[in-house]
Amino acid sequence: MNEITSVERRPDGGPGPIRRTALHDTLVSHLRDMIIEGDLSPGTRLHEGQLGEQLGVSRTPLREAIKYLASEGLVELVPSRGAVVKRFSAKDVHDMLTVLQTLEELAGKLACEAASDAGIAEVRALHDEMVGRYKAGDRLQYYKLNQQIHSAIVQLAANVALVDMHAVLQTRLKRIRFIGHEGPEKWAAAVSEHEEMIVALEARDKARLSEVLGRHLMNAWERVRAAV
């Protein structure tokens, strides 16, 4: 997780530190991950000197990445005191889920109209794999596929603004969901809702898909409210 060079890639395994990804992007996703996974917990000050040394980068590009994350809402800029990891209250989380619910309802409607059959098939494939992970009890992979499915459905809606807004909220919520470990019965309910979603999508049933997505996120709040 340390040393930013670990993320840089070589063209074909040859030697030399050639990087494909721009450093800025690398830093942004690195820091994002650190925040989401809890390496940097809410309220923590982002110490430029220390953090820069840890990642093997000077302060300048690091500061630029921090500003980027500030605009994304993951960190807060305090004048003369640098940046701190933003802390979300229970109401904040509820607010985000409310908006996310509305956005996904919209996405459901649009997706039924705009999606290609191939696109729907891909979501189905993701879903099947997710169910497999569920049966195997692999929570982490389940969680990741879960997020991917929601993002995939939003992308089927073919509305870039919608994708953007959804991505921002999804990212802000990742840290929360990463923590919220629901019990077996709630987990089963979530999987069941997902099954409904896929069926509705394959039938291109706008009303139904929209309804299920909305309900799914309402329930999501019930699942995570204890954790916040």
Instruction: Note every long-range contact of 143-148, with CB atoms under 8 Å and residues 24 or more positions apart, other chains counting.
Output: 143/177, 143/178, 146/190, 146/194, 147/174, 147/177
Residues 68 to 97 in contact with DNA, rule: CB under 7 A: 77-82
Asked if 103 is part of the footprint of a copy of itself (rule: CB under 8 A), the reply reads: yes
| Residue 83 backbone dihedrals phi, psi, to 5 degrees | -120, 145
Asked if 168 is part of the footprint of a copy of itself (rule: CB under 8 A), the reply reads: yes
When binding is defined by CB under 7 A, the residue of 6, 9, 22, 102 that contacts DNA is: 22
In 3D, which of 219, 218, 212 has the Cα closest to residue 105?
Answer: 212
Angle at alpha carbon of residue 74, lines to 69 and 80, rounded to 5°: 70
Integer CA distances (angstroms), 213 to 111, 117, 129, 161, 192, in order: 12, 20, 19, 19, 12
Asked if 58 is part of the footprint of a copy of itself (rule: CB under 8 A), the reply reads: no
Asked if 225 is part of the footprint of DNA (rule: CB under 7 A), the reply reads: no
Q: Minimum CB separation from DNA for residue 69, in Å?
A: 13
The piece of 17-25, 104-112, 181-189, 192-200 that touches DNA (CB under 7 A) is 17-25
> Are 94 and 221 spatial neighbours (Cβ–Cβ below 8 Å)?
yes
- Applying CB under 8 A, the site for a copy of itself has a residue count of 35
Asked if 59 is part of the footprint of DNA (rule: CB under 7 A), the reply reads: yes
Instruction: Summarize as ranges the residues that interact with a copy of itself (CB under 8 A).
Output: 22, 24, 60, 63-65, 67-73, 77, 79-80, 92, 95-96, 98-99, 102-103, 105-106, 110, 159-162, 164-165, 168-169, 172
